[in-house]
Amino acid sequence: MDIITALTIFVLAVFVGFEIITKVPPTLHTPLMSGSNAISGITLVGALLAGKGIIGGFFALLAIIFATLNVVGGFMVTHRMLEMFKKKD
Amino acid sequence: MIDQLLSIPILAQAAGELADKVPEIAEQASEVVESATADVVSQIAPNAPLLRDVGYLVAAILFILGIKGMTHPRTAVRGNLLGGIGMLVAVIVTLVSGGVSWALVIIGIAAGTAGGAWLAKEVQMTQMPQLVALFNGFGGIASVLVAAAEVLKGFDETDVAIAGFAAGLTGLIGSVTFTGSLVAAGKLHELPQFKQPWSFNGQQPVSAALLAIGLVLTWGLADGSGWEYFFVVVLSMALGYLLVTPIGGADMPVVIALLNSYSGLAAAAAGFVISNNVLIIAGSLVGASGLILCSIMCKAMNRSLTNVLFGKMEPSGESASADEVYEGKIKSTSADEVAMMLDGVQRVVIVPGYGLAVAQAQHVVRELATLLENAGVTVEYAIHPVAGRMPGHMNVLLAEADVPYDQLKEMDEVNPTFAQCDVAIVIGANDVVNPVANTDPSSPIAGMPILNVHEARTVVMIKRSLSPGFAGIPNPLFAADNCLMLFGDGKQALVDLVAALKEN
């Protein structure tokens, strides 16, 4: 992938992000933060593919652990919070 | 019969001949299988990256739809699930497309899942800010490690310059996020080591120097050498620590929003290192989200980001002294009096501040509101954007206490209605209801958006003492004609009030 394609994707995604996130009401800002935080654990995909050799493998293992903590913990805690908002519907 | 018997040796002979041919047949068969497999592989192989990229596209779409779901409490649960499914899709297509070390993957995912699930289950809602800070830090360090593994492996991308430079940025942003988040989490958790803002003379030039060296080394990484990477990481870890330690607890909402943004940007930078679209997309979405929240928080405090990060909030010498403002004008009240006053009113607005969360009084507040509602009173909650320790924190705390979200009113929505409010009950909030922000341009909080509780017919301030808030200035509201002070611990005062209401 050449750098211009990557940059294009980056910039467009930032714009999409700005557009949707400005519409999130303040009531949901904490779940938004923990949920988007879980999404930033996408670096897990990179961690799964990383790691050759002993040191590289060690780094990869640590990366997988931290990223999974981020992803699983983030989505679960967000779910827990949102359930509290939902049940009064 | 005889014919048949005669045929046996012939058959046997044929069988023997066949048996001789078995190895040959087996060889041919395996050749067929091999060539077929090779065919399949050669057909799939060019498609495997395609399949994976389509999976990533699906994941990216799910992330966007997921965040879109967050725009309303009704759709938010589904939105979060969509985000989770997106993550699952991204992980599965990565695993299926091959090239992973399964032992590492299984151990890593098992450990991470166990830890993450435990943290998510055990955390109390008041501890949410430090948990989010901690998760930010984990995301940051994961990106740093991914880039580190990539640096060790040597970049196999065609464009070494870009991969190297992006790796440097990942190391820089990710490491700042990691140590910065750990310090922020420590401060939010009120660990004694981090409780006081800490700084030394010349800290800012040192930070600036670290950042400059980090950037130069990052630039140096563009030649594909790699050794600079580990220096970048060490320097940036020190930088993250130095940037967050001087910042006080009241400014933490801004800091964690900013670190949230950084953790996204670190993931996006890691995406540039390994040429992976889904990392770039998801990372930049989160980067944008954190920045927006950060700017909302800054506006709510009427401060610029630079001022929060590098400035100090100093009480101006011009403002009136506490004695002048309060002298002889403070009217103290009791729970019984307030209970009597609440009898027969139309509309009550409760203004919760962080003091309420500290006192863990959100459940008692809910009890008070239920009592009033049963008596036919309209009850609403006015939430200032910086009421909690992170954006939207107070809403979560009240939702936990079963307050319906449609009673939670934002500042802009509730401010024009205070004139039609019989009683405003302010619990553990001070600066955010200080009318000086609107009236005195020389005040340190001048221009800060406030909740206009002073427009209510009666204001009840539940507060321990007349001590100032974070801004360190007296609040003329306390001395206003329509304001009654109910002195005491927030929770105890509310418990007394509830008891008094029940007696009436």
- Residues B353 and B359: their CA atoms lie apart, in Å, by 10
In this structure, what token pair is assigned to residue A22?
Answer: 């400005």
In this structure, what token pair is assigned to residue B253?
Answer: 């909402």
At residue B189, the 3 state secondary structure works out as coil
CB atoms inside a 10 Å sphere around CB B433:
25
SS (H, E, C) B388-417: CCCCCHHHHHHHHCCCCHHHEEEHHHHHHH
- Residues B252 and B386: their CA atoms lie apart, in Å, by 10
How distant is the Cα of B71 from the closest Cα of chain A, in angstroms?
4
If pLDDT is split at 50, 70 and 90, which confidence band does B11 have? low
pTM, 2 dp: 0.84
Mark B322-340 as b/e (b = at least 16 C-beta within 10 Å): beebbeeebeebbbeebbe
Which residues in B lie closer than 8 A to residue A11 (C-beta atoms)?
284
Q: Are A36 and B109 inside 8 Å of each other by CB? A: no
If pLDDT is split at 50, 70 and 90, which confidence band does A59 have? very high
Nearest CB among B109, B267, B281 relative to A43 is that of B267
Residue B317 has pLDDT above 50, yes or no: no
Which residues in B lie closer than 8 A to residue A15 (C-beta atoms)?
288
Q: Are B391 and A30 inside 8 Å of each other by CB? A: yes
Residue B434 contacts residue B444 (beta carbons within 8 Å): no
Which residues in B lie closer than 8 A to residue A41 (C-beta atoms)?
87, 135, 138-139, 142, 267
Q: In the structure, how many helices (H) and strands (E) does chain A have? A: 4, 0
Q: What's CA B462's distance to the chain center, in Å?
A: 30
Residue B160 burial by Cβ neighbours in a 10 Å radius (0-12, 13-18, 19+): middle
- Residues B285 and A10: their CA atoms lie apart, in Å, by 9
Of residues B370 and B36, more confidence is placed in B370
B431 is catalytic: yes
Nearest CB among A13, A66, A70 relative to B284 is that of A13
| Cα torsion B381, B409, A32, B89: sign | positive
Which residues in A lie closer than 8 A to residue B275 (C-beta atoms)?
1, 6
If pLDDT is split at 50, 70 and 90, which confidence band does B115 have? very high
Q: Does ipTM come in above 0.85?
A: yes
In this structure, what token pair is assigned to residue A21?
Answer: 């996130």
Q: What's CA B384's distance to the chain center, in Å?
A: 18
Query: Which helix (H) or strand (E) element contains residue B297?
Result: helix B277-300
Q: What is the distance between the terminal CA atoms of chain A, rounded to a whole angstrom?
A: 46
Question: pLDDT for B148-167, tens place per residue?
Answer: 998 888 776 567 888 899 99
DSSP 8-state assignment for residue B185: H
User: For residue B82, what pLDDT is reported?
Assistant: 96
Q: Are B112 and A3 inside 8 Å of each other by CB? A: no
- Of the residues B223, B406, B431, B496, which is catalytic? B431
CB atoms inside a 10 Å sphere around CB B46:
8
If pLDDT is split at 50, 70 and 90, which confidence band does B24 have? low
Residue B342 has pLDDT above 50, yes or no: yes
Residue-wise DSSP of B327-351 = TTT--B--HHHHHHHTTT-SEEEEE
Portion 68-87 of A in contact with B at CB < 8 A: 68-86
If pLDDT is split at 50, 70 and 90, which confidence band does B16 have? low
How distant is the Cα of A3 from the closest Cα of chain B, in angstroms?
7
SS (H, E, C) B201-252: CCHHHHHHHHHHHHHHHHHHHHHCCCCHHHHHHHHHHHHHHHHHCCCCHHHH
Best of A5, A30, A52 to disrupt the B interface by mutation (most B CBs within 10 Å)? A30
Taking alpha carbons only, the member of B487, B435, B439, B444 closest to residue B462 is B487
Question: pLDDT for B44-66, tens place per residue?
Answer: 555 678 888 999 999 999 999 99
What value does the mean pLDDT take over residues A40-64?
89
Q: In the structure, how many helices (H) and strands (E) does chain B have? A: 18, 6
DSSP 8-state assignment for residue B72: S
Q: Are A21 and B121 inside 8 Å of each other by CB? A: no
Residue B360 burial by Cβ neighbours in a 10 Å radius (0-12, 13-18, 19+): middle
Which residues in B lie closer than 8 A to residue A59 (C-beta atoms)?
145-146, 148-149, 152
Mean pLDDT taken over chain B: 85
Contacts of A43 by beta carbon, 8 Å cutoff, 6+ apart: A63, A67, B139, B142, B143, B146, B266, B267, B270, B279, B283
Q: Are B286 and A46 inside 8 Å of each other by CB? A: no
Q: Are A86 and B77 inside 8 Å of each other by CB? A: yes
What value does the mean pLDDT take over residues B101-117?
93
DSSP 8-state assignment for residue B423: E
Question: pLDDT for B382-424, tens place per residue?
Answer: 999 888 888 889 999 999 888 988 899 989 899 999 999 999 9
Highest mean pLDDT among B100-109, B110-119, B334-343: B110-119
CA distances from B335 to B319, B332, B353, B436, B495 (A): 32, 10, 19, 28, 9
CB atoms inside a 10 Å sphere around CB A75:
27
Residue B98 has pLDDT above 80, yes or no: no
Q: Are A29 and B150 inside 8 Å of each other by CB? A: no
